[in-house]
Structure formats: C-alpha cells, structure tokens
Amino acid sequence: METESMDCESSTRSITNDNGTYHFSSTKNHAAAAVVTNTVGPTTTAAATSVYELLECPVCTFSMYPPIHQCHNGHTLCSTCKVRVHNRCPTCRQELGDIRCLALEKVAESLELPCKYYNLGCPEIFPYYSKLKHESLCNFRPYSCPYAGSECGVVGDIPFLVSHLRDDHKVDMHAGSTFNHRYVKSNPREVENATWMLTVFQCFGQYFCLHFEAFQLGMGPVYMAFLRFMGDEEEARSYSYSLEVGGSGRKLTWEGTPRSIRDSHRKVRDSNDGLIIQRNMALFFSGGDRKELKLRVTGKIWKEQHSPDSGLCIPNLSS
C-alpha cells in the first residue's frame, strides 16, 4: 500500500483540572468562560467559586460528594481519602471518627456551577450534584488516545490526537475514502494478544482509524478488522464502511457503521463488531501456505445522505 504523508500543523494548549491534563488545538473557540460569567453574573460566580473551593478535598483535590467527613476541628475530606489517610485528619492529625459535615453537604445542594469543560466549549451550568453525571457524558469532554498498542493516557481534542498519533506513535496517515491494506505474518501459529496494525484515514473532513489485528479466541487465533470514527457516536452514524478480504476465488465482506473512539478499542473488539476471519480461512486466503500469512484487506468509507422526500439513506461516495 503506497504511503502518503499528510501535514497537520496546529499549535496546542493544555488545561489542568481535577482529572489531570488534557490538550486542545488553539484553532478551536474557547470563549465559553466569558459566556458563563456573563450568564451567571460576576458576583454570583465569585461566591460560587468560594464555596466550590470549600468543597475541594485537601488530599486528592477532587470535588467532594456525600458523605463528606470532618474531624473535631472542622477540617473536611472526601470518603475515599478518609480510608487512604487511615482515619486521621491530614490537616491537624486528629482522629476523624465518623462525623459528617452535613452543613457543607446542604450548601452544595444550592450551588450551581459551569461544566468543567467550559474551556472546551460547553456552555452548560448545573446543580452541584448533577454536574458530575453530566461531565461523564459531556460532548465537549476530551477524547482518549485511540492507539491500541500501549496503555497511552493522553487525552485531547481530535486535531491534537491526530498530531499525537502521527508524531508520537508514528501511525501511518492516508488521505482518501478507499484503502488497500496488506497484512503479513511469518508464523501464523504464534499469535498473541495485540498483534495489530493501525492506520488513520482522512476523508469527508473527518478522521477514521482502521484497526487490523490478531488475537486469541478460544483455542486458536482469529483476525479482525474494524473502523473507528474520531468523533462522537451520533456523528459516526452519518458514515458507513465496507471491508473485504479474499483469495483463491473466495472472499469475505463486512459492511457497517464505524464506532466512535468514545468506545474503547477493547470494547469494539470484544463485541465482534467488524470483519472477523477465522484462522483456517485466513490460511486459505493466503494460498494454503501454513508458514506465512498474507492477507489483503480492501475497503471504502462513504457518507450517508438522507433523502428529504423518502427519509431513506443515500450513500455519498465522493470525498
């Protein structure tokens, strides 16, 4: 498969919050902080911020949720850290006991705060106890790195992750909506988990990750190819893709919707949502040579268009 380099230049910034550091491209609009301030009002925001600081655990610095514990001197900490500090106040070293700070829990009920991803564009404001649930599903939350070959903890927006995959993981980048992928393994009997390949394709103004890997299933190896969309699940449904592998006059085909990178690589793989090739069939496609595996996977990506008259999906194959 001919490689084609793709330049992707963008400056990046990072934000540190109670979940760590995440990165975003400076080309995005991050003026939501001003929107939040104008909506709530500077006085209200300052008061909310002051109370919010009281709700920050002094040990882990995360926001505290019931039960909030306190020592006899009034120092507070979260229930998780109470176990970590062996029931001793980290501020005054007094024994904590089982005293709850009911007043602070009650104050938190009346507190409204912006989503912690407001710098990434989320304009929403929530009651304190509803905020955590929203943030776990917020469409503006950063994406995790889709690289499956290691436990990479990098998070950020899509432009940043594309640069990260190219520069740090040295992933092949290709432009176009069709592909012709060749997979060769010298000893198909020795297949271990995460024997895999990853390629990123750019088409329709979006990025897609093509995964091809071998892993153990039951007593023998299987081979699997699937596509992930670098964006949210709702937008991923606007696209379809097909995969085909064959040889010796036979072929297997798969057609489906790419999965969002919000779903982990392992979750997609374990759901069998892709082109699956059993070992015997893979050897057959390789010409019957049991000493070397040679598979060629071809495919295409297209964007679905909804007909305003019939409501049917019409494939758009142009990129």
Residue 235 φ then ψ, to 5°: -75, -30
pTM: 0.71
Mean pLDDT value across residues 245-268: 91
The identity of residue 5, as a single letter, is S
Q: What is the Cα–Cα distance from 298 to 251, expressed in whole angstroms?
A: 11
* pLDDT single digits (tens) 52-67: 788 899 999 988 989 9
* Residue 149: closest CA among 196, 211, 200, 216: 196
Confidence band, pLDDT 50/70/90 cuts, at residue 226: very high
Q: Is the bond preceding residue 67 a cis peptide, omega within 30 degrees? A: yes
Helix, strand or coil, per DSSP, at residue 241: strand
Listed in order, the ranges of the chain carrying CATH 3.30.40.10 are 19-137
> Going by C-beta distance under 8 Å and a sequence separation of 6 or more, which residues neighbour residue 160?
10, 12, 23, 24, 25
Q: Which residue has the higher pLDDT, 135 or 291?
A: 135
Question: Class for domain 19-137, per CATH?
Answer: alpha beta
Beta-strand runs (E) in 26-80: 68-70, 76-78
Inform me whether the pLDDT recorded for 201 exceeds 90: yes
Q: Does domain 143-316 have CATH number 2.60.210.10?
A: yes
pLDDT in tens, 86-104: 888 999 998 888 899 999 9
Average pLDDT of the residues in 284-310: 77
Query: What is the rounded distance in angstroms from the CA atom of residue 314 to the CA atom of residue 308?
Result: 11
